[in-house]
Amino acid sequence: MSRYYTFTAQDAVEYARQFGGVADPQSLVTADEIGDGNLNLVFKIRDTAGKSRVIVKQALPYVRCVGESWPLTLDRARIEAETLIIHGQYCPQHTVNVLHHDAELAVMVQEDLSDHHIWRSELVLGKHYPQAATQLGEYLAQTLFHTSDFYQNAQAKKAEVSRFTNPELCQITEDLFFTDPYVDHERNNFEPVLQPAVEALRQDKPLRLAVAALKHRFLCKAQALLHGDIHSGSIFVAEGKLKAIDAEFGYYGPMGFDPGSALGNLLLNYCGLPGLVGVREAADGREQRLQDVRELWLSFSARFLQLARDKSQDPTLAEPGYAELFLQEVWHDAVGYCGAELIRRTVGLAHVADLDTIKDDAMRADCQRHALSLGQKLILTAQQIGDVESLIARIRQFS
Ligand SMILES: Nc1ncnc2c1ncn2[C@@H]1O[C@H](COP(=O)(O)OP(=O)(O)O)[C@@H](O)[C@H]1O
Ligand SMILES: CSC[C@H]1O[C@H](OP(=O)(O)O)[C@H](O)[C@@H]1O
């Protein structure tokens, strides 16, 4: 029989006293449930002075934002903790620290990042963190390189692919990214004013073929242990600091998916800025987002190539020039997944504040149409966009 039960705030306090690793456990007295994501409970555990000290995160046996009608595996909590632990081995400075986890209770105790801010919230307010994109590129390069066949022993890696098989969470991505937006599905969520633009996407045969290829690669390309949901809402930033959280969609998939999701969220903000801060004021923010796009890719690719040169273990993959060839494939995939993220966050189940919080109806619809057409063009031209400067030129051209 399973030991699982859903925590109350008091249960979370008691758990944190036991497993939070604090020197004065009895000083932990209250918990606020602060979860604002789509899936789980998140408790902030405070001490007698009201200071938050550790985080207790627990999976529910269903999708929180939908309810018990959509059951979901508790194994996602194990996958999340184990993914973060591995990512933390290779990039501790940019991965939230997991202090303890219990697969049966589907619970994890994490370091408290309350002195940071969720990157998306800052981007929505028009705040720029100049080092964040470079740091995110570093996180992606370290985690993806070290879990790939360049670095892992081939047999050990196959065992890891099995340990991180995450079928239910992958199916959410498979449906929400690649299927729902292109059909009439009850999970979709968009205002009637977007209907013609959505209809145009659904009628676009070359787009449907390109999306099929992206989904197919997501289904079968086990290149590295992905974060699997690396959007600006799963990244904490502070001055000069960045930490990734929320890796429950982790699995071995196409390496381009992670940088593609991250780039897509920067571009969702790029599309939303005129509605968030005003048309004239948006120009500077948009330049910053394009600079973020450039720095993310340049730091990711430079670190990946350096790691491939210095640390590749497989003698055949270490062939000079091969890592560069491989990175071109990752790039093209990333541009495609970036486009898919733009579309699914605009018309699918899960939206983003960068577009949804725009108050003016007409402006919001304009920004959403921009996200849809940019996503469509990026998916269609992903194989022809050779480098990040060409991507930036296309984004300007499509504005
Ligand atoms: N380690 C942490 N420190 C401080 N706050 C956190 C931490 N982890 C999560 N949170 C807060 O809880 C929210 C939801 O967490 P998240 O992991 O994204 O949940 P979900 O899996 O449901 O998406 C975050 O947006 C953030 O505000
Ligand atoms: C039914 S889950 C929808 C959506 O939620 C996840 O995001 P979050 O980080 O907010 O939990 C993920 O992006 C899923 O696609």
pLDDT, position 138: 99
For ligand 2, whether the C-beta of 37 sits within 6 Å is yes
Average pLDDT over residues 124-145: 98
pLDDT, position 36: 87
Instruction: Report the distance separating Cα 176 and Cα 182, nearest Å.
Output: 10
Contact 1, 16 (CB under 8 A): no
Strand 67-71 vs strand 98-102: parallel, antiparallel, or unpaired?
Answer: unpaired
Q: Concatenated DSSP letters for 121-166?
A: HHHHTT---TTHHHHHHHHHHHHHHHTSTTTS-HHHHHHHHHHT--
User: From the CA of 35, which ligand is nearest?
Assistant: 1
Ligand 1 centre distance from Cα of residue 43 (Å): 9
Residue among 145, 139, 135 nearest 91 (CA)? 139
Atom number, ligand 2, closest to the C-alpha of residue 234: 9
- DSSP-based three-state secondary structure for 113: coil
Give the pLDDT confidence of 15-40 residue by residue, as tens digits. 999 999 999 999 999 999 999 888 99
Atom number, ligand 1, closest to the C-alpha of residue 112: 3
- Alpha carbon 271 to chain centroid distance? 18
Ligand 1 centre distance from Cα of residue 33 (Å): 10
Give the pLDDT confidence of 162-187 residue by residue, as tens digits. 999 999 999 999 999 999 999 999 99
Instruction: Please indicate if the annotation marks 191 as binding a ligand.
Output: no
Q: What's at 149, amino acid-wise?
A: D
Contact 113, 84 (CB under 8 A): no
Contact 236, 243 (CB under 8 A): yes
Contact 347, 188 (CB under 8 A): yes
Considering the chain, what percentage of its residues have pLDDT values greater than 70?
100
User: From the CA of 171, which ligand is nearest?
Assistant: 2
Average pLDDT over residues 305-328: 98
Q: Which residues contact ligand 1 via a Cβ below 6 A?
A: 34-40, 42, 55, 96, 110-114, 118, 234, 245-246, 248
Tokens of 166: 């995450």
Give the global pTM.
0.98
Q: Give, in order, the Cα–Cα distances in Å from 183 to each of 175, 202, 303, 337, 362.
A: 11, 7, 39, 18, 25
Q: DSSP letter for 193, please.
A: G
Element at 252 (helix H, strand E): strand 251-253
Give the pLDDT confidence of 226-265 residue by residue, as tens digits. 999 999 999 999 999 999 999 999 999 999 999 999 999 9
pLDDT, position 37: 82
Contact 86, 156 (CB under 8 A): no
Give the pLDDT confidence of 53-64 residue by residue, as tens digits. 999 999 999 999
Give the pLDDT confidence of 349-363 residue by residue, as tens digits. 999 999 999 999 999
Element at 41 (helix H, strand E): strand 40-47
pLDDT, position 184: 98
Element at 85 (helix H, strand E): helix 75-90
Q: What's at 95, amino acid-wise?
A: T
Instruction: Please indicate if the annotation marks 248 as binding a ligand.
Output: yes
Nearest CA residue ID for atom 3, ligand 2 = 350
Ligand 2 centre distance from Cα of residue 39 (Å): 7
pLDDT, position 1: 85
Average pLDDT over residues 77-105: 98
Number of H helices, E strands in the chain: 14, 12
Instruction: Please indicate if the annotation marks 246 as binding a ligand.
Output: yes
Mean pLDDT of the chain: 97
Atom number, ligand 2, closest to the C-alpha of residue 38: 11
For this complex, say whether ipTM is above 0.95.
Answer: yes
Average pLDDT over residues 134-163: 98
Nearest CA residue ID for atom 25, ligand 1 = 36
pLDDT, position 399: 80
Ligand 1 site-directed mutation target among 54, 74, 245, most atoms within 8 Å of CB: 245
User: From the CA of 40, which ligand is nearest?
Assistant: 1
Give the pLDDT confidence of 279-310 residue by residue, as tens digits. 999 999 999 999 999 999 999 999 999 999 99
Ligand 1 centre distance from Cα of residue 236 (Å): 9
For ligand 2, whether the C-beta of 228 sits within 6 Å is no
Ligand 2 centre distance from Cα of residue 329 (Å): 26
